[in-house]
Structure 1
Amino acid sequence: MGLSEGDLRAGLDALATIEPAFGAALARVGYPAPRIRPRGYATLLRTILGQQVSVKAADAVWRKLAERQGDPADPATIVSATDEDLRACGFSRQKAAYARHLADEVTSGRLDLANLAADDEEAIAQLVRIKGIGRWSAEVYLLFAEGRADIWPAGDLAVQIEVGRILGHAARPGERQVRELAEAWRPHRGAAAIFTWHHYGATGDAPL
């Protein structure tokens, strides 16, 4: 489960004390809503399905999988499906391969999503072993599904843009600079990330 509303507010209040520019931004746009996803296989499968397509298109594939093959939240559904079955549900060849790898890792026990490493970097390393799951997807999963309070997806373009805006930089800081700037915000960087996405939407751009 992701950061609760109370945890998110507490993290942002602490962040506003550490970095007054965040306090000023918080006064302008208010607190963000929590971003919470279920922990486990289904959320990671949805992450794979959602890559490079609209939410509507990903939802359509999920529905077809449910109608034709069974519960999409059960990895056995992917394991038992043929390549033709998955293509009929709207999977590309690449996404079918990614989904099969994820399902195999879970059903074999090599990946235990209920017991990922407590250390954030170790947990990210466990997740990026899955084909189709990169660092950004792993970080967002740990933040939204596990509520890890200090996850910091510094490679995210919206995070970079809004850190620059909030702190008054003339140009968008790069990933390395954003990581360095956020060192002072530990252990509240997860709340900071959620706030940057909220600020991104509130200032006229499309939200994450």
Structure 2
Amino acid sequence: MGLSATDLNAGLDALAAREPAFAAALERVGYPAPRIRARGYATLLRTIVGQQVSVKAADAVWRKLEVLGDPTDPAVVAALDDDSLRACGFSRQKTGYARSLADEVTSGRLDLDNLPDDDEEAVAQLVRVKGIGRWSAEVYLLFAEGRPDIWPAGDLAVQIETGRILGLPERPSERLTRELAEAWRPHRGAAAIFTWHHYGAGADAAPV
């Protein structure tokens, strides 16, 4: 499971103690709610279903899939033909992605209960699945496994809010966003969740 409220708040308190700009931002917008997803195949499949569509559309696809069987069981997707998946709302590309995920899990090549402890090695295993890029892998490790030092520097909102929190004149690049957060180890996961919270606060999060 993801970072608990207790762990999340403790991480942010540690960041605020070492980074005055973080302390000021935390005072402005408060603590974020935890972002927790279930560990395992279903969460990754939902990630694929939700790519480039609205939450409402993704929910509709998922409900149609549930009619055909238990979508938390990779054997169900593996057994469905392409026409059945397309009827649920899967595009041709997502059909391939869903099959790749099901195959990795059912074959045992991807064991979601025993991913490597090293974050980079865990990311490397996840991105072997077609349709799971680095961002999706990092978000899974943060939300579903609660790994405390995950830092999805490629996320646009993370870049924007890192710049805003630190008072930078423009949005930092992915490389600079990653470099800026080196000083926040081992609490970069809490920092990422806070940047999304700060982004959601909009104008109210602007430094004064």
TM range (shorter): over 0.9
CA positional deviation for 1:18: 1.3
Amino acid at match of 1:6: T
Identity %: 81
Distance 2:99 2:123 in 1: 20
Equivalence for 1:70: 69
Q: Does 1:36 align with 2:36?
A: yes
Gaps of 5+ in 1: none
Residues 41 and 204 of structure 1, relative CA distance in 2, 3 Å threshold: farther
Equivalence for 1:156: 155
Distance 1:20 1:135 in 2: 30
Q: Does 1:200 align with 2:199?
A: yes
Q: Does 1:117 align with 2:112?
A: no
Alignment partner of 1:172: what SS?
coil
The residue correspondences of 1:15-164 to structure 2 (distance < 5 A) are 15-67=15-67, 69-164=68-163
Alignment partner of 1:203: what SS?
helix
Equivalence for 2:182: 183
Alignment partner of 1:155: what SS?
coil
Gaps of 5+ in 2: none
CA positional deviation for 1:115: 0.3
Scaled by the length of structure 2, the TM-score of the pair is 0.97
Distance 1:129 1:204 in 2: 39
1:82-115 CA-to-partner distances (Å, cap 9, x unmatched) read 1111111111111011000100110110100000
Amino acid at match of 1:177: L
CA positional deviation for 1:203: 1.8
Q: Root-mean-square deviation (CA), in Å?
A: 0.9
**Aligned residues, how many?**
204
Amino acid at match of 2:41: Y
1:5-29 CA-to-partner distances (Å, cap 9, x unmatched) read 0000000000001111000000000
Amino acid at match of 1:38: A
